[in-house]
Structure 1
Amino acid sequence: MSFTGSIDYFSLETPLFLSSLLPLLATTNADLAPAILNGVLLSLVVIYLASKIGSEIAKYLNLSSVLGELVAGLVVGISALHLLVFPDSGLDGSSSIVMQLLQFVNPLDPVVLDRVFAAQSEVISVLAELGVIILLFEIGLESDLRQLKQVGAQAAVVACTGVLVPFVLGTGGLMLLFNVSAIPAVFAGAALTATSIGITSKVLSELGQLKSSEGQIILGAAIIDDVLGIIVLAVVAGLAKTGSIDAMNVIYLIISATVFLVGSVLIGGFFNRSFVTIVDRLKTRGNIITTAIVFAFMMAFLANALHLEAILGAFAAGLVLDETDARNELDELIKPIADLFVPIFFVTVGARADLSGLNPAIESNRAGLVIAGFLIVVAIVGKVVTGWVVFGQPGINRLAIGAGMIPRGEVGLVFAGIGAASGAIDKPLQAAIIIMVIFTTLMAPPLLQIAFGKPDEPPTATAIKSTSDPVN
């Protein structure tokens, strides 16, 4: 938690000082616990109400519920109502409506209020991370490992194209057209390579296209894209900090990501038998879902420990358990858990996005708006073209594949945040990246829906073929 970070404000030169300070900090933290809990509870009330209202409105308009949750996040977040804001946006506790409500109930010192604000924001951020982990575990359960293997080559080509094209166009265009220096241009180009697997996979699931050939190519490409994105992020972050690239770290990331993903699939057969044996021996309530969640969290932990994304581990866990006899029951058991945690992720993604950079009346925004327009064009073109590099799939819905790779989501925001924190990009370029992320994230769900057609329409020929395959 962030309280431990408060020790950094002191000069800890002697063990005696440290031993006398820790009990004081422990007492202070205990005193703040009720206020932190109240802040978390109020924030969750805001999140769940916003999520439900947004998804219901989206459903009424025949749009994806993900889009409704993202827009709801924009409304309650930093761009509008300030009901759900975070310290990383540059705001303090007094800027949060939730914190103001806490002040009304129990007045707090401004310094203490900021500490409560930081702590409750960290809790919500962790819950959002759990939400996306559970989402990817659920998507893994709904996926077909055999189908993913069948489209593996196409997914790899789509992923590599979706990384290379926007990176080259973005970096080169910024340097040639806008005279942006090399390091900021590389950072912005790297932000264009990302794909938000969480947003795309949820929309595909809602449209009933997750197991179609298009859906499996998108999903496989997004997974590979995520791994490539981690490597790109490590490279550009090192470049921003040191001005040079740590080749050994890049090699480590490539090897560890490959070993982890291949190893996860290979252990599937062994763990499937072990999972069924363990579940059969447990007699108390929750034997299946608890064992599955433990496995998913352990895989997420291992991925994180290898400096990969935790969501890759969760997805791999879902793929493994999808091969078990308990798969159908697991599919139903995970839904209420996903309904509880996943909305936190989507609403917070929207809440963190600051639309103030869209105001052309502010002179400092204008340069960013022009660059943002360029980045949006590159972001769309660089991903849409991926649908036309798929081979060996006659009649495939190429527009749907390209549309599925468009959303940058939280991944793009991470690039913008790290770039700004490291000083690699200035405010206009940061605003341009954020605008690009918001635009691509919001346009992807309706574009996917247009490409595939309404959920109640007959599925495509490729979808019929994939869903008619026998299930293990």
Structure 2
Amino acid sequence: MSYHYLLDLALILLSTKLLGLLTQRFQMPQVVGALLAGLILGPAGLNVLTETEFISQLSELGVIVLMFSAGMGTDINELKNSGKAGFWVALLGVIVPLLMGTALAWGAAAAGLIESNGMLENVFVGTILTATSVSITVETLKEMGKLETKVGNTILAAALIDDVLGLVALTLVSSLAGGGESVGLVLLKILGFFIFAAVAGVGANRLFCWMLKRQGGWSTHRNSVLAFVLCLVMAYCAEEFFGVADITGAYAAGLAVACTPKGTYIQSKYNPLGYLLLTPVFFAAIGINVKLDGVSGGMLAFSVLLLVISVISKLAGCGLGAKLCGFTERESIQVGVGMVCRGEVALIVANRGLSMGVLSSAMMTPVVITVVGGTILTPILLKLVFRGEPQEKLVESSLADRYEKTAQLEDASQQLLDADAAMMRKNK
């Protein structure tokens, strides 16, 4: 057994922290530093780190915990109020990128920048741009104290709907290519997932509330472990049985925990875990996965154009959806920027097209550049569009203090409960 993964992990944590502090000095989120650390140390840079199964799995666990924590920190009432806006933001955020991406691929092929396999590949490029991965947006908004706001909840609601619409679009294109499942079966699976999530969420919520009433037999520390078990099971079921992204299942589990009286306390248990280990590995892994071998001038030009279109299309589509629902111009831009990042979702869609033979292997380079470029640009653009607004929460630097105070309050509350229980037994 090789223990080299320990050295890799130490190098990732050290480099992400140092570059995170450096980017923070330039008024940029620390997420950008973590991404740059992966790029510099990965194959695209010094080639010190390479993608391994350990890093890949730890990275996936990182994004699951990140979305689980985001679910626990979501205001349920605000999320309900954001349902209509989230639908229109997601709908236009799928249609506009699909049309603009298809048009760009067709125009680039006509101009000789790329070699196209036909109109179906052009449509598939547009389908890749429909994807949205809000994990980086979530972390950036948390760092700025803007996650639990009207804009933050709208982005989360839109991302959930976007995941469903993007899956339907992928299925339609796959069906045209002669592979994959039927649209009806995919829609049935999606419906089944939401029924499963609702039943599991309500059942888990009632179980936690029942255990809290029996506090003498069940401590809130055990509740935290059971909450994480719920997160992992729902993430697994979403991906394995329903074909929905695992992060959607994790977010649904977080919503279920958020409805319990101890939701905030349980969330505080996972913030240090993400901050100290999982989140840095996740963001560094994105940079480590970048490979820029054999890129021609025309392909590089197309990559830059695809990145620009990926930003403009989400900004225009999602921003227009927010504007139609009564958001101010600034809030609409904030929503649009929050939906720009594609992340691992776009890579999953691209790999699906590659495996079906719809997408050529040469097209993977522009997709990777678009994903990494959008991942780096999103936190920077979010910082710009939220500039001048008051910060509503403490940032990451005070995370340990918040955790310690929460734990102290919980311990004091536990002592009071024990004292009351002892008094009741004595009176009996």
Q: 1: CA distance between counterparts of 2:8 and 2:71?
A: 29
- 1:165 equivalenced with 2:130 (yes/no): no
- Are 1:204 and 2:141 an aligned pair? yes
**1:321-361 Cα deviation digits (max 9, x unpaired):** 1121112321321112212212211110111022x26xxxx
Do 2:209 and 2:261's aligned partners in 1 also have CA atoms closer than 8 Å?
no
Unaligned runs of 5+ in 1: 1-33, 87-120, 460-472
Matches within 5 A, 1:370-389: 370-385=301-316, 386-389=318-321
Q: Please say if residues 272 and 323 of structure 1, whose CA atoms lie closer than 8 Å, have aligned partners that are also in contact.
A: no
Pairwise CA distance, 1:420: 3.2
Per-residue deviation at 1:70?
A: 0.9
Residues 336 and 458 (structure 1), Cα distance of their counterparts in 2 relative to 1, 3 Å cut: closer
Letter in 1 for 2:78: Q
CA contact (8 A) 1:239 1:245 kept: no
Q: Report the Cα distance in structure 1 between the residues aligned to 2:216 and 2:129, rounded to whole angstroms.
A: 47
Equivalent in 145, 162, 185 of residue 76 of structure 2: 145
- Flag the 1:279–1:165 CA change in 2: closer, same or farther, 3 A: farther
- Does the 8 Å CA contact 1:184/1:425 hold for their aligned counterparts? yes
Percent of aligned positions with the same letter in both sequences? 30
* Cα distance, 1:162–1:418 mapped onto 2, change above 3 Å: same
- Per-residue deviation at 1:155? 0.4
The structural deviation recorded for 1:378 is: 2.2
Match of 1:449 among 375, 383, 405: 383
- 1:87-236 to structure 2, matched below 5 A, reads 121-179=52-110, 180=116, 181-236=118-173
Superposed, 1:319-334 pairs within 5 Å as: 319-334=255-270
- Contiguous gaps of at least 5 residues in structure 2: 111-115, 393-428
How many positions carry a matched residue from both structures? 382
Query: What amino acid sits opposite 1:425 in the alignment?
Result: L
Match of 1:309 among 230, 245, 249: 245
Q: CA deviation at 1:282?
A: 2.6
Residues 57-91 of structure 1, C-alpha deviation per residue, up to 9 Å, x if partnerless?
A: 122222111111111111111201222213xxxxx
130-139 or 378-387, which deviates more: 378-387
RMSD: 2.5
- Change in Cα spacing, 1:261 to 1:189, as seen in structure 2 (3 Å) is farther
1:412 aligns with 2:346: yes
More deviation in 417-426 or 67-76? 417-426
Change (3 A) 1:141 1:383: same
SS at match of 1:168: helix
Secondary structure, in 3 states, of the residue corresponding to 2:286?
A: helix
Whole-angstrom distance in 1 between the partners of 2:202 and 2:229: 19
* Greater RCO (CA < 8 Å, at least 6 residues apart): 2
TM-score (norm 2): 0.82
Deviations along 1:416-452, one digit per CA (max 9) or x if unpaired, are 3333344322244222222222221111101011101
CA–CA distance in 1 between the matches of 2:39 and 2:235?
Answer: 29
Question: Are 2:128 and 2:346, in contact at CA under 8 Å, matched by a contact in 1?
Answer: yes
**1:279-294 correspondence runs (5 A):** 280-282=216-218, 286-294=221-229
Alpha-carbon separation, structure 2, partners of 1:182 and 1:246: 21
Which residue number corresponds to residue 44 of structure 2? Answer: 79
Contact 2:211 2:218 in 1 (8 A): no
Once the 2 structures are TM-superposed, how far is the Cα of residue 255 of structure 1 from its aligned partner?
A: 2.2
Residues in 1 aligned to 2:189 and 2:125: alpha-carbon distance in whole angstroms: 21
Query: What TM-score results when the alignment is normalised by the length of structure 1?
Result: 0.75
